[in-house]
Structure 1
Amino acid sequence: MREAGLRAPVVYGVEGPAWSALKAAEQHGGEGLAESRLFEAALAAARLAEPHPDLLAASSHMLAAATVA
């Protein structure tokens, strides 16, 4: 991103490290998954992992944001 002329790039893990547990729950009858404790725990894990660049690879998708120089 810097080579493209963008400033202050930041990369976020979209799903976080617990995405595979959420996907498994969804595939095995995940009705009401959004209200479940598993969803809340996965969301908390994603938020805790966010400031740690080493944990970015644990997410299946990443989002990058930057500003134009």
Structure 2
Amino acid sequence: MPITFHLWKDGSGIIEIKVDEYFAKANGYKSVSDMAEKTIGQAKFNEMFGGVPEWIRASPNGEFTFVGINPILFN
């Protein structure tokens, strides 16, 4: 299963992982929608980000943080 990573080369050390079916399955879920429902729920993702964000940040200690902006905040 290919997992796509972004490694920011601006000195920040940020690593992001693409949230797709492979990522969900690698973390024990059946799909992205299954992952959404079994974590904070699809409704909360919709409220916070307008859906499941495309990228997730990985911290050095293995914690994940979703990356996205609520579309209501767009001009």
RCO higher in structure (CA 8 A, sep ≥6): 1
Q: Is this a same-fold pair by TM over 0.5?
A: no
TM-score by length of 1: 0.25
